[in-house]
Chains A and B, each alone.
Chain A
Amino acid sequence: MMMQLFYILIFPGFLFLYLMSFILEYEDRIIYARLQNRKGPPLFQPLADFIKLLAKEDIVPECADKKIFKLMPMIALTAVVTSFFYIPIWGVNSLYPFKGDLIVVLYLLTIPTVTFFLAGWSSTSLYSTIGAVRTLTQLFSYEVLLFLSVLSPAMLADSWSLGDMASFYNERPAMMLFNIVAFGMSLVAMLGKLEKVPFDIAEAETEIVGGTFTEYSGRLFAFFRMAINMEMVVGASLIAAVFLPFGLTLDPVYGFMLYIVKVFFVIFFLSVGRTVFARLRIDQMVSVCWKYFAPIAFAQIVLILIVKGVVL
């Protein structure tokens, strides 16, 4: 029992996720800054931002649905933290593995997006409402892409379980190479999921101020930000677990270090992605995702099917 609580609350559970989210936010910000030839924030900046937000006043709009408004950050946070327990960090298995945990992780990762929508909608500000509608519209364009790209390695491994997939690829490392296209597509989908440029349409500050989060301040906003940062950790871990499943039989210490390297690697791609593009319009994003990225992901699945027929 004590061990279970330790797993859930301290390591590799909540506290680890909490610290990791700050480290990854820092990495993202410093790489973004360096790529733009800026100095970037100091190491403790993300933590300082968080503490500062906690100290600020919580303002709830008069017309807002107060319960939903206050509840949504917590739900987003809970969903993200829960999903982390089903992702293998080092070794083959996650904390609580079961058949089909991949699907559960993907669904749990959808919940934060839905809470963004509800939070924006319930705060009744015009900017938030438009942001909320954009969040949902966006969801329909990148979610399919994310599912398609994450499921293609699963199809190759013939399992919906992250653990089984990991052991499959651990035995046949060369098989990973067939998933490179899906890896790229999943990075694109992750940019959409984390609402980063070029897909930060829902919170485009120059158009709709802060989008969904316009009315949020203080502690509630701090929790939303934390949820998004943790989503970044979970998303990067998921991509690392699905697309980079090598070195899993190593000693836990080395395995953990390898995990950190993998996550940093994924975040680096995301940072570069948000550096080199301009923000798309919502109609452009939908058409790009459906016209170009979804067919590519389909082609990947076809490739996987052929590989399965020929090689295995």
Chain B
Amino acid sequence: MKRPGKMLREVLSHLTKKPATKKYPAEPIKLPDGFRGRLRFYPEKCVGCKLCMKDCPANAITIEKVGDTFEAIVNLDRCIYCAQCVDSCNKKALEMTKQFELAQIDRRALKVKV
């Protein structure tokens, strides 16, 4: 039957229920496995093919040779967290972590060695 106030019962039943609001940041948020957050780099696995650099849609990652090993520098503000570099890497030297709270006041602090 059509009537005004059709949601009344549903609405009143929520008076005693716990709010659905997530209390972030007071309570940490639960992230699913496989979440795409900040990159992690394993220098010992890297062979320096730079495929990740080539495929990165945002030109966020740079691999540099330092001495005998490699170093990955990521611009966290440019990174779009698509994980294409992880897919492109044949040696599994890159990996996504669950870390996502990356805000910084200073922009330069976002250019990090991962």
Give min CB distance, A34 to chain B, whole Å.
Answer: 6
C-beta contact mask, B71-102 vs A, less than 8 Å → 1, else 0?
00000000000000000000000000000000
Contact A37 B19 (CB under 8 A): yes
Pair A34/B20 contact, Cβ less than 8 Å: no
> Which residues, 1 to 38 on B, are CB-close (under 8 Å) to A?
4-8, 11-12, 14-15, 17, 19-21, 23
Q: Is the interface of B mostly helix, strand, loop or mixed?
A: loop
Whether A37 and B4, one on each chain, are in contact in the complex, defined by CB atoms closer than 8 angstroms, is: no
Contact of A39 (CB < 8 Å), options: B4, B12, B15, B19: B19
Number of A residues near B (Cβ < 8 Å) is: 13
Q: Give the interface segment out of A15-23, A72-80, A166-174, A269-277.
A: A269-277
A67 within 8 A of B: no
Is B11 in contact with A39, judged by CB distance below 8 angstroms? no
Chain A minimum-CB-distance residue to B16: A34
> Within residues 257 to 286 of chain A, which ones have a CB less than 8 A from any CB in chain B?
272, 275-277
A275 to B8, CA, bound (A): 8
**B17 (CB) vs chain A CBs: closest residue:** A37
- Sorting the interface of chain B by its residue count into under 10, 10 to 19, 20 to 34 or 35 or more gives 10 to 19
In the assembled complex, the CB of A231 is this many whole angstroms from the nearest CB of chain B, namely 24
Between B4, B6, B23, the greatest number of chain A beta carbons within 10 A of the residue's beta carbon is seen for: B4
**Chain A nearest Cβ from B12, distance in angstroms:** 7
Q: How far is the CB of B101 from chain A (nearest CB, A)?
A: 21
A292 to B17, CA, bound (A): 35
Q: How far apart are B57's CB and chain A's nearest CB, in angstroms?
A: 36
* Residue from the list B5, B6, B8, B20 in contact with A37, Cβ < 8 A: B20
A and B contact pairs by CB, cutoff 8 A, 6 listed: A33-B19, A34-B19, A37-B19, A275-B11, A276-B5, A276-B7
Q: Given A37-B17, A37-B20, output 11 extra A-B contacts at Cβ < 8 Å.
A: A31-B15, A33-B19, A34-B15, A35-B14, A38-B21, A39-B19, A39-B21, A39-B23, A272-B11, A275-B7, A277-B4
Q: Which residues of B contact A (CB under 8 A)?
A: 4-8, 11-12, 14-15, 17, 19-21, 23
